[in-house]
Amino acid sequence: MAPPRGQPQSATVRFAHESEEEFARILDFYGVIWEYEPRTFPLEEKDGRLALAFTPDFYLPDLDLYVELTTLKQKLVTEKHRKVRLLQERYPDVQIKLLNRSDYLSLLAKYGFGPFSELEVAGIHEVLISAAELERRVKELGAEISRDYKDREPLLIGVLRGAACFMSDLMRHISLPLTTDYMAISSYDGEQGEVQIVKDLEEPLAGRDVIIVADIVDTGMTLSWLLETLRLRNPASLKVCALLDKPARRLPKVPIDYCGFVVPDKFVVGYGLDFRQKFRNLPFIAALKHGPPR
Ligand code: IMP
Ligand code: MG
């Protein structure tokens, strides 16, 4: 049974796929009432027995509309089209809409349950990592760190500003006593010049189990400098947890002990990452249509 209006339904339903959960959250965000797989339609019988049936993903009672998502395997799409056609033949009064991957992604980019101006939508090329995928993976990383640092008290160092979202989500999935601190550094600009510390740590590192929490390792120059700099402060151990790894552009070899996702050679934004200070508040990771010139 659907919970009362105003309460997110998506928290109470078990979905078969993440894309379904995400779609449900968009509906929740817009206050659209929905039911998940409420009805199975018999489509074909053979020898008096049911041979084919179809259970659309969602039903939106206010619109009297069934919605089927086809965001998954492209080869299943043809079969879905056939089922939808059969359903329409057999139940002409039933309204159903197939939502394909590009419909769905533009919907996500447009309504991605975050504040999003039309201008920003136009700049987004595609959603690479959805909010649900981020949530699941950050949870896993937290569990892994909790296991590895059992009986210890790690010091998490968030690298500003890109790691802000990742850091605040990650720490809540680490079930250990811990300390946090933040550091801001000027990005490595590819010139001879050193990376500058814009804001230094307040915590001493000597004898502590330190984990650097970073947004993305791209060329690896920043991280390489950071590791060298922090090692001089004599921590008991020094590890790296990076949300994203973009190995295509790597220069120095740098260790990434905990890695969220490997991303292709595209300029990515969202979930803390920016392009000219914009897009940090997107709840997902997206690729820009026109990345910065390189
Ligand atoms: P690196 O020194 O090249 O590894 O990159 C250091 C910093 O550049 C990262 O911490 C990010 O803040 C920024 N950066 C690199 N690649 C991207 C990207 O694709 N999107 C947004 N920021 C990036
Ligand atoms: Mg940046």
What pLDDT sits at residue 5?
A: 45
Could you give the residue ranges of the DSSP H alpha helices within the chain? 18-29, 74-90, 101-111, 118-123, 131-148, 164-171, 221-231
Do 96 and 65 contact (CB within 8 A), yes or no? yes
List, for residues 41-60, the tens digit of each pLDDT value. Answer: 999 999 989 999 999 999 98
In the predicted structure, residue 243 carries a pLDDT above the cut 80: yes
Tell me the three state secondary structure of residue 139: helix
Distance of CA 58 to CAs 17, 73, 88, 96, 106, Å?
13, 18, 16, 9, 19
Query: Residue type at 117?
Result: S
What pLDDT sits at residue 160?
A: 96
Q: Whose CA is nearest to atom 12 of ligand 1?
A: 162
In the predicted structure, residue 2 carries a pLDDT above the cut 50: no
What pLDDT sits at residue 85?
A: 94
Q: How confident is the model at residue 6 (pLDDT cuts 50, 70, 90)?
A: very low
Q: Where are the beta strands (DSSP E) in 179-272?
A: 179-185, 197-199, 209-217, 237-245, 258-262, 268-269
Specify the long-range contacts of residues 262-268, CB closer than 8 Å, at least 24 apart: 263/128, 263/129, 263/216, 264/128, 266/125, 266/128, 266/291, 267/291, 267/292, 268/128, 268/216, 268/244
Lowest mean pLDDT among 30-34, 146-150, 165-169: 30-34
Q: How confident is the model at residue 33 (pLDDT cuts 50, 70, 90)?
A: confident
Q: How confident is the model at residue 94 (pLDDT cuts 50, 70, 90)?
A: very high
In the predicted structure, residue 192 carries a pLDDT above the cut 80: no
Q: How many Cβ atoms from other residues are within 10 Å of residue 233's Cβ? A: 14
What pLDDT sits at residue 110?
A: 55
Q: Whose CA is nearest to atom 16 of ligand 1?
A: 218
What pLDDT sits at residue 109?
A: 58
**Going from the N-terminus, what domains does the chain have, and what CATH number goes with each?**
9-114 (3.40.960), 129-288 (3.40.50.2020)
Do 227 and 199 contact (CB within 8 A), yes or no? no
Nearest-angstrom CA–CA distance, 26 and 67: 14
Give backbone dihedrals phi and psi of 262, rounded to 5 degrees, phi first. Answer: -90, 130
What pTM did the predictor assign? 0.68
Catalytic residue, chosen from 28, 209, 215, 218, is 218
Ligand 1 atom nearest to CA at 219: 3
The alpha carbon of 236 and the centre of ligand 1 are apart by a number of angstroms equal to 27
Do 40 and 53 contact (CB within 8 A), yes or no? yes
Ligand 1 atom nearest to CA at 162: 12
Q: Which ligand is nearest to the CA of 292?
A: 1
- Residues with C-beta less than 6 Å from any ligand 1 atom: 162, 187-188, 214-223, 267-269, 273
Tell me how many degrees the CA angle 183-189-192 measures, rounded to the nearest 5. Answer: 105
Of 263 and 70, more confident: 263
Q: How confident is the model at residue 114 (pLDDT cuts 50, 70, 90)?
A: very low
Q: Which ligand is nearest to the CA of 214?
A: 1
Q: How confident is the model at residue 76 (pLDDT cuts 50, 70, 90)?
A: confident
What pLDDT sits at residue 3?
A: 46
In the predicted structure, residue 7 carries a pLDDT above the cut 60: no
Active site residue 218: yes
Q: How confident is the model at residue 155 (pLDDT cuts 50, 70, 90)?
A: very high
Percentage of the chain exceeding pLDDT 70: 83
Nearest-angstrom CA–CA distance, 294 and 210: 33
The alpha carbon of 269 and the centre of ligand 2 are apart by a number of angstroms equal to 9
Lowest mean pLDDT among 123-132, 199-208, 271-280: 123-132
The alpha carbon of 211 and the centre of ligand 2 are apart by a number of angstroms equal to 21
Nearest-angstrom CA–CA distance, 43 and 28: 31
24-31: average pLDDT: 71
In the predicted structure, residue 210 carries a pLDDT above the cut 90: yes
